[in-house]
């Protein structure tokens, strides 16, 4: 099969012919119909993720059809239209037994712990626990855009942030994660403030439902601007970018007893960011991480998509070919373009 492969961290990946995958006994092989490009792929390519072993095929936001199923798989068969969350739980560790597959102790992540979906086919383990059937109404490109940023934002806003109607939600960073969070929080009835450095992204954020915006390039004081708009601070705030500045601002712009959710990755030099801990104590702030979403939680999200309350198709940006994927992957740290770019021809 054709796959995007890199043999050294930071060296240009190339489209190459590699052996076709075979399913594990509890896994499937999926014919990839669409796969999203994400900054996590860029981190993996740069060597920031200890799970990645060379040579490697990236890609973790995928949708497609089951091509073959392992001997122990009972729920899936050839031809089924499916997607997966980017973290697949093993289904039998303590965390999976408690319903928290997103932090499984033996998690399977295509494109990180195994070869991923920048390829014609991808093998996915723990299939019975993690595959999600795609409704006919949902096209493959939109389905692929859900697997990482959209589901992580859904969990961050709904399950971790516990956003309620009428609350103020600040979203720092308007890439794929941030725009997803803005759409989801707005659908939940919250008032969303979008924060970014470019007017183009802030204008798109307003289209996704933001009722106020702060341009962090113009505003000398982002924290003060959010507190002024919200008359005292956001109830819930998310760092959707992942940087020491946005992380700090997202915590510091909360009102008393507010909830911060960290979704943007903090790796390398950023792994130990400064937290205003005195404010966390004095104001009883809550700080959460959000890391993917369990396959069984897709049901509520799919219902909101099928009824039109959520429209993830609006976040799909450019359609690319597999041959265009290496250059697009290497450019992921430049934050260019709007929404989520998806490879749809292989």
Contact residues for Zn ion, defined by CB under 5 A: 38, 40, 89-90, 93, 96, 104, 148
Name which of 40 and 253 has its Cβ closer to Zn ion: 40
Name which of 34 and 254 has its Cβ closer to Zn ion: 34
Tokens of 218: 């113009």
Beta carbon of residue 235, minimum distance to Zn ion (angstroms, whole number): 27
Phi-psi label, residue 91: left if phi above 0, alpha if psi -120 to 50, beta otherwise: left
Q: What's the first-to-final CA gap in the chain, in angstroms?
A: 10
Beta carbon of residue 210, minimum distance to Zn ion (angstroms, whole number): 22
Tokens of 129: 């626990």
Locate tokens 């993720």: which residue?
49
Beta carbon of residue 104, minimum distance to Zn ion (angstroms, whole number): 3
Q: Residue 282 burial (CB < 10 Å; 0-12/13-18/19+)?
A: exposed
Task: Judge contact between 205 and 271, C-beta under 8 A.
Answer: no
Name which of 85 and 89 has its Cβ closer to Zn ion: 89
Name which of 280 and 331 has its Cβ closer to Zn ion: 331
Name which of 62 and 158 has its Cβ closer to Zn ion: 62
- Secondary structure in 3-state letters for the chain: CEEEEECCCCCCCEEEECCCCCCCCCCEEEEEEEEECCHHHHHHHHCCCCCCCCCECCCCEEEEEEEEECCCCCCCCCCCEEECCCCECCCCCHHHHCCCHHHCCCCECECCCECCCCECEEEECCHHHHCEECCCCCCHHHHHHHHHHHHHHHHHHHHHCCCCCCCEEEEECCCHHHHHHHHHHHHCCCEEEEEECCHHHHHHHHHCCCCEEEECCCCCCHHHHHHHHCCCCEEEEEECCCCHHHHHHHHHCEEEEEEEEECCCCCHHHCCCCCCHHHHHHCCCEEEECCCCCHHHHHHHHHHHHCCCCCHHHHEEEEEEHHHHHHHHHCHHHCCCCCEEEEEEC
Task: Judge contact between 323 and 15, C-beta under 8 A.
Answer: yes
């Amino acid at each position: 099969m054709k796959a995007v492969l890199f043999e050294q961290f930071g060296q240009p990946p190339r489209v190459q012919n590699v052996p076709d995958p075979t399913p594990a006994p509890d896994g499937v092989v999926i014919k990839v119909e669409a796969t999203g490009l994400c900054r996590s792929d860029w981190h993996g390519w740069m060597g920031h993720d200890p799970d990645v072993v060379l040579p490697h095929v990236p890609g973790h936001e995928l949708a497609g059809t089951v091509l073959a199923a392992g001997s122990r798989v009972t729920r899936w068969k050839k031809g089924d239209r499916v997607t997966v969350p980017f973290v697949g739980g093993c289904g039998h560790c303590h965390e999976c037994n408690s319903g928290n597959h997103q932090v499984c102790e033996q998690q399977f992540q295509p494109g990180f712990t195994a070869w991923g979906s920048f390829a014609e086919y991808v093998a996915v383990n723990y299939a019975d626990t993690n595959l999600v059937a795609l409704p006919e109404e949902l096209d493959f490109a939109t389905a692929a855009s859900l697997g990482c940023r959209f589901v992580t934002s859904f969990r961050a806003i709904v399950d971790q942030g516990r956003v309620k109607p009428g609350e103020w939600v600040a979203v720092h960073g308007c890439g794929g994660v941030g725009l997803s969070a803005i759409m989801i929080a707005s659908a939940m009835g919250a008032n969303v403030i979008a924060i970014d450095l470019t007017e183009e992204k802030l204008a798109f954020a307003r289209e996704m439902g933001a009722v106020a915006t702060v341009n962090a390039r113009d505003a000398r004081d982002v924290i003060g601007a959010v507190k002024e708009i919200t008359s005292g601070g956001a109830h819930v705030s998310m760092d959707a970018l992942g940087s020491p500045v946005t992380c700090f601002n997202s915590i510091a712009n909360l009102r008393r007893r507010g909830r911060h959710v960290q979704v943007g990755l903090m790796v390398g030099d950023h792994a130990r960011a400064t937290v205003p801990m005195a404010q966390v104590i004095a104001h009883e702030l809550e700080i959460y991480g959000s890391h993917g979403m369990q396959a069984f939680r897709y049901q509520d999200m799919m219902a909101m998509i099928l009824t039109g309350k959520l429209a993830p198709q609006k976040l799909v940006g450019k359609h690319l070919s597999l041959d265009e994927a290496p250059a697009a992957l290497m450019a992921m740290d430049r934050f260019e373009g709007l929404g989520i770019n998806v490879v749809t021809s292989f």
